[in-house]
């Protein structure tokens, strides 16, 4: 259920955080409007937080046209994390310029898809309630042992031929009082 995050945890010999699948209608606001849709997360998060985001890569692996990374998306300027996750990107299904942009590790995939006009469809396959562990707390800048209920989704982005471009696990930090302003 936490694919592809599980691949990164397995490399470290770490146990995955607890996660429970929830129905989209059971995801509380504002997480529901941020997760339960068929849009790319990058523009959704940028609209909610009123500013552009960039990628901070925490771990990466590349093999046979598959590029995996564990990341946070952070607000430009403040560096505040607005998403933690893991993604597998199938590089051979992207135009060369988009592949180079992906491997530069600065812009989120949603921004790259738009900039390179890559036709795609976003299809969430699960919504999740996740208990934050030390890895997630550190990535999102949360105090250790803080109330750890977070929400996220599994998503698959496909190209016009129906082939997967990317498989993603996206977990959002707690929505603070200043979120969405």
Give the model confidence (pLDDT) of 10-39 as tens digits. 999 999 999 999 999 999 999 999 999 999
Tokens of 23: 């129905």
- 2 phi/psi in degrees, rounded to 5: -100, 20
Secondary structure, 3-state, 152-175: EEEEEEEECCCCEEEEEEEEECCC
The CATH number for 113's domain is 3.40.1410.10
> What total number of domains does the chain contain?
1
**Inside any domain, residue 163:** yes
> pTM surpassing 0.85?
yes
How far are the Cα atoms of 20, 99, 119, 157 from residue 161, in angstroms, in the given order?
32, 18, 10, 11
Give the model confidence (pLDDT) of 74-116 as tens digits. 999 999 999 999 999 999 999 999 999 999 999 999 999 999 9
Give the model confidence (pLDDT) of 144-163 as tens digits. 887 779 999 999 999 999 99
**Inside any domain, residue 30:** yes
Using CA atoms of 43, 48, 51, 55 in order, give the dihedral in degrees to the nearest 10: -60
**Inside any domain, residue 179:** no
**Inside any domain, residue 178:** no
């Amino acid at each position: 259920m936490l694919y592809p995050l599980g691949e990164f945890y397995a490399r470290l010999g770490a146990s995955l955080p607890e996660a429970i699948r929830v129905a989209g209608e059971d995801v509380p606001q504002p997480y529901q409007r941020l997760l339960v849709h068929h849009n790319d997360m990058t523009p959704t998060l940028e609209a909610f937080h009123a500013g552009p985001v960039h990628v901070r890569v925490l771990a990466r692996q590349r093999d046979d046209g598959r590029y995996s990374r564990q990341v946070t998306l952070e607000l430009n300027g403040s560096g505040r994390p607005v998403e933690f996750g893991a993604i597998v990107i199938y590089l051979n299904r992207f135009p060369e310029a988009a592949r180079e942009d992906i491997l530069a590790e600065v812009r989120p995939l949603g921004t790259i898809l738009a900039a390179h006009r890559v036709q795609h469809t976003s299809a969430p396959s699960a919504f999740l309630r996740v208990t934050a562990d030390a890895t997630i707390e550190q990535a999102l800048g949360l105090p250790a042992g803080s109330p750890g209920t977070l929400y996220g989704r599994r998503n698959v982005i496909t190209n016009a031929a129906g082939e997967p471009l990317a498989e993603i696990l996206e977990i959002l930090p707690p929505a603070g009082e200043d979120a969405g302003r």
